[in-house]
Every structure is written in C-alpha cells, then in structure tokens.
Amino acid sequence: MKHILPVLFFCASFLVVSPIYASNFEVEIAHETIDVTVGFTGSTIEIFGDRRDEDTLVAIMVEGPKTDVTIWEKARVFGTWVNRYFVHFDNIPKYYSYSLSGTNNSEKTKRLLAFHGIGNDAMLSNARIEKSGSVEDLELFKKELLKKKVDAGLYTKDGVKMNFINNNFFRVRFDIPASAATGNYIIKSYLIKDDEVIEHNTDMLSVEQVGLNAFINESARKHSFIYAFVCIFLAFFSGWLISVLKVRP
Amino acid sequence: MQIYLPIAEMSVPIEMIFLLGAFVGFISGVFGVGGGFLTTPLLIFMGIPSAVAVGTQGSQLVASGVSGVMGYWRRGHVDFMVGTIMLGGGFFGTLVGVGFFQFIKYLGQIDLIISILYIVLLGSIGCMMLFESVFSAFKKKTMKSEFNRLKSPSLISRLPYKMRFPRSKLYVSALVPGGIGFVSGFLVSTMGVGGGFLLVPAMIYILGMPPLLVAGTSLFQIIFTSAFSTMMHATISNSVDIMLAVFLILGGVIGAQFGVLASKKVTGARARIILALLVLGVCLQLAIQLFLSPSEIFVMVEGQ
C-alpha cells in the first residue's frame, strides 16, 4: 500500500495536468528526504516517471555526496604486508547508481551517456586521478574501487532495472544501504532520442540523521567541547556507579 | 538489533557491542585490567573506523579507571603527587599522540603502524607477564618482590629536577614519572589502551615506587589522560561516538560484576598466566594478519 499510493498520486497528477502541460518527460521522487533514525537499516529512493514518446531512451543517475578515495595495493616489505602503491580518486560520489530504459544502445548513444557520466566507467573516467609513480595498470585500481563499492552496496554493478508500468510510465528503485553517507543526493534524469538529450531534469534528495542521532551528530560537530565534557562526565558517572554496585568477591 | 551510530555513521548489531563490552568488563573484573587492548582491535574488526574505535575507547577507559580507583582511594593507596606529575607528562603525550595519529592517517599507513605498535606492546608485556606469573607460580615469590629491592638505575638517579614524593618515599627527578605519563598519554591517544600493563612495571622497576601504591596511582593518571584524549579526539577529529560508548560501558558494568564473581575461582599466578596467554593470543592474531598473505591485496581509504 505504501508504494502504491505514490504511483496513484503520480498517475492522477498526469490525468489532471496533461491536457494543458505537454512536457515530453516528467520525473517525480516519492520522498524528498530519507530520515536516518537510531534504528536505520537502509532505505530506497523511489522514482516515478513518464515519457510521452515510447521511442526514447530514459537514463537516471543518482549521486551521493562526494569525497576523495584512495585505493592502496599491499606489497611485502621486510616480510610484512604494507600499503605500498596507491591511486587517488579526487571527488567521487560516496554513493552512485544509475538506470537505463534500454541497454541495446548505439555507439554514439554510449558516448553520449559517457559524456554525461552515466555508467560506472564513465563516472570514474571523469574523476581527477593521482597515482604513485610505479602504478602502470590504472584499470586494475578502478576495477578494485568499483568492486569494493559494489560489495558495500554503495554502487551497482550494471545499473538498476527500470520497470515500465505501461509503455510510458516507469518506476525505478535505488537501494540505499545503512552505510550510505548522509547529505544531499543529486538525481539527474535524461530523455534521449536519436543520440541527443532532448530533455533533462535535476532533483535533490537529502539523507539526514533525525531525532536523537541528529542531535548527537550536530552537538559533536558544532559544540564539540560541551559534547566532549558530556562524554567524560558520563564515563565518570558510570565508573562511579560500577564501583558502588561492584559485587565483592 | 541494528543501531545506527551517529558519529561512526554506520549501522551495527547492538547486541554485539553490548557483548563486547560485557566480555571486556568480565576480563577487567577477573584480572583488574582496563581491557583496552581487547576492545580497540575488536571494534576495528567489527568494521568501526579505527579513528572512532580509538577515540571512543578513551571514554570507556575513564569509566573503568574511575571504578577501579575508588577502592584504592578509600584505602589510601593513591599517591596523588606522583599521579599529578605523571598527568603532566600524560597530557603532553596525548597531544603528541593525537598529532601522530593524524599524521599516520595522512600517510595511509594507520593500520600498519597501529598493528606494529600493538604487536610490540602486547608481545613484550605478554611475555613479561607470562614469565613473571610462571616464576611466581613455582617459586611462591613474585619477581616484583625480587626486583623491588633494586633501587633506580644510576642513569635515572642523575637526571635533573629532583623532587621529594613523601607518600612513596622517593627522591627522584620529576622527568621520570613525567616520562612514564608521557608514554601512557601517547598509548591512549594512538591505540586506545590505558597502558596499565606498561605503567605498572615501569613505576615499580624504573621509578621504584612501593607496589602497594602503583595500581591506584596508575589508574588515577589513566583516568585524566584518557579524559584528555577523549577531549582531543572529540574536538580535533570528531571521532568520539557517545552512543557506542554508552553501550560499551553498559555491557562493561554487567560483565564486570560477573568477572568479580568469577575472580573468586581464578586467583593469583594462575589468573595472570591466563591473562598473559590472552594478551599473547591477541598479539599473535595481529602478527598473523601482518605477516601472512592478506585475503584482500587492495584496500580502500575514504576522505584523505
């Protein structure tokens, strides 16, 4: 029921709006925020959309907050395994996923998708890279980065399946694992026809800690001295309590 | 039951954290040690980022330190003067340790250096403890009593800034307790261990303190050094997770009660042999990870 309601609202909005508003492409996100509570175990970003023209390609890309990532290759030094060679990827998304309405695309469309950073390889090839001098096989490091992110559920291996309710209406669900970063997620959607982007939208979704979690996180960052004092006081109090309760052998 | 840690920004099974706290509490109840040497590696093993594990562990050390020192304080077994001088060194050691921690994080070698520090520390302490406990189990006389007859080495007696410590009946350079405190502060802030293993023998053999006052004084010093380390980690690197600390301490309170009850059955040299084997076990586990071929050749580090 929870998932059907947004679909019904979305379809109803088209019934009302479509006669006067003749856009080729509409995309709606079911919820604009994801609340990270104490019991958060992951969530989904649910996107509904409509394309007027069946003979088009729809591409949707979700990018989480960005950070720098270093992939280290271990090597033996004096018998111990140490982080030896590195490739540093500047400013890449902590979460990244995408969905395409069709996979059987022409070379020109593939290049267009890559240009817009759609697809794992395309996203990484746009990143600024630094590496230790002796690294030759950059692709190996890229593969490892993707593998680790996919294993953690933060990237998807071959994108997410786009489900069509009929030839025009579609639905995509991107899974957000519990380990996904908080912050703003950018959702870019493209309508492509004859190897050209004919329409595109950008939406924003925020994944944020709420309630007690938000209070703790904000206190730790904005009032770190008071937060530290509270932690220390709590520890002192617990220690004292243990000494009072202690069972004498 | 999964719980989302607000600072570590990850979901963990809360019963595991609670059980870890209870296990370490049990160990500290049986053997009278802080147990930091077990908590930090086990937290890292559970996937908690090492910065958060080390930062949060400091507050647990405060709790176990306070609970331990109360008993010694009531019996008058704390030399506050030596403790305060050690504390001065401890604060300085903490500052250096926090800086060192940030530096190795920047180098990308944090896992290696923390592992090596653990192996050296646990290996040497474990061997010393095993040797001492086996010795006392057979001889009915501890090495402590043998060694205690020795006075401070001559190099130490020649150091400047000498002070009188009436409670411990010592006339020694303030640099000695200060230096011992420095090492403790460094260990707390880089490894999340109180360093009681190292402090106690150092205070007996190097400083020449009466063994009766050593445990209480070292705990007194560890409380404040750990509190300072918590303060530093919370303000500099935002790596103290109060939610994680609460569940660790809660588990620790309950575990400690069972530990104290169990300590009736395991006492003296036999208990110390078990503890020494436990310490050596953790050391061996870390050494295996460092020297054997890792299952993953590539490691990912975010946000540097």
- Rounded to whole angstroms, how far apart are CA atoms B164 and B167? 9
pLDDT of amino acid B259 = 78
Nearest to A221 among B238, B249, B292 (CB): B238
pLDDT at B45 over 90: no
Q: How many CB atoms lie within 10 A of CB B130?
A: 17
Share of chain A above pLDDT 90, in %: 45
Q: pLDDT band at B145, cuts 50/70/90?
A: very low
Q: What is the ipTM of this complex?
A: 0.80
pLDDT of amino acid A161 = 92
Per-residue pLDDT tens over the stretch B56-81: 988 888 888 888 788 788 888 888 88
CB hemisphere CA count around A154 (13 angstroms):
20
Per-residue pLDDT tens over the stretch B217-229: 888 888 888 898 8
B-proximal residues of A, 22-61, CB under 8 Å:
36-42
pLDDT of amino acid A18 = 44
Per-residue pLDDT tens over the stretch A185-231: 999 999 998 888 989 999 999 999 998 889 998 999 999 999 999 99
Domains recognised in chain A with CATH numbers: 24-207 (2.60.40.1930), 210-249 (no CATH)
Q: pLDDT band at A96, cuts 50/70/90?
A: very high
Q: Are B218 and B225 in contact (CB under 8 A)?
A: no
- Rounded to whole angstroms, how far apart are CA atoms B196 and B186? 13
**Chain A residues within an 8 Å CB radius of B192:** none
Q: How far is A152 from chain B (nearest CA, A)?
A: 11
A-proximal residues of B, 4-63, CB under 8 Å:
4, 6-7, 9-11, 59-60, 62-63
pLDDT of amino acid A5 = 52
Share of chain A above pLDDT 70, in %: 90
pLDDT of amino acid A80 = 83
Per-residue pLDDT tens over the stretch B119-131: 888 888 888 878 8
The DSSP element (H or E) to which B15 belongs, if any, is helix B14-31
Interface test with B, best of A37, A68, A83, A143 (most B CBs within 10 A): A83
pLDDT at B144 over 70: no
Residue range B37-63: average pLDDT? 84
Which of B228, B71, B55 lies closest to A239, judged by CA? B71
Q: Are B4 and A213 in contact (CB under 8 A)?
A: yes
pLDDT of amino acid A16 = 44
B119 touches chain A (CB under 8 A): no
- B252–A240 C-beta distance less than 8 A: no
- Rounded to whole angstroms, how far apart are CA atoms B178 and B218? 12
A129 Rama class: left (phi>0) / alpha (psi -120 to 50) / beta: beta
